[in-house]
Amino acid sequence: MNKNRPKIGSNITVEPIRSLQDIKRIKTLLAENPRDFAIFVLGINTNLRANDIIKITVGQVKHLVAGDNLILREEKTDEIRRITINKAAYEAIQNLLSAIQDKKDDAPLFQSRKGHKPLGISHLNHLVKKWCSAIRLKGNYGGPTLRKTFGYIQFIHFKTDILTLMENV
């Protein structure tokens, strides 16, 4: 039994990345890794859950341009969502598309390094923890950190009210 694992049914709270400077530092850290950079940028620029991000396929994004909507069905709610892709997310996705080998429509956009399978959620959690640790952030971070960072930045830096954020989540 792994003593570091939480007990079944327990909740683990992760934090957002609160500083724009820390976000820039992580982007710099990931600049040479198109997959990780795209995950990070898409995660902090949309309100998508980590599970939904890793399920995006090449066919869902390859024809998008900045300002277009990414349409997907959320895993948790089973609802159809329309997510506007901003310029930063568009550029990160295009950079990733130029770097990946398997560009079939049904291929995962965020591929595991072991073949052409989708990245797993536990590995995404590990990656976010690693990025935050690399820039010496104190606290608990994981996959949901990306979505929480989006909400935090919208609320604190862009003064988006809570009701608007809640309606779009």
Residue 60 vs residues 38, 74, 104, 119, 162: alpha-carbon distances, Å: 15, 14, 11, 16, 29
- Residues 90-106: b if buried by 16+ CB within 10 A, e if exposed: bebbbebeeebeeeeee
Q: What was the pLDDT predicted at 116? A: 76
What are the mean pLDDT values of the chain's consecutive 10-residue runs (169 residues total)? 62 90 98 97 95 96 96 91 94 96 91 85 96 96 95 87 71
In 3D space, the residue among 36, 8, 16 whose CA is nearest the CA of residue 124 turns out to be: 36
Domain presence at residue 8: no
The DSSP code for 158 is S
pLDDT of 117 reads 87
Would residue 11 count as lying in a domain?
no
Minimal CA–CA distance to 149: which of 28, 45, 8, 59? 45
Tell me the CA distances in angstroms from 86 to 32, 43, 139, one per residue in order. Answer: 21, 12, 29
Q: Tell me, what CATH number does 121's domain have?
A: 1.10.443.10
Query: In whole angstroms, what is the distance from residue 8 CA to residue 86 CA?
Result: 38
| Total domains, the chain | 1
Is residue 96 situated within a structural domain? yes
Domain range spanning residue 122? 24-167
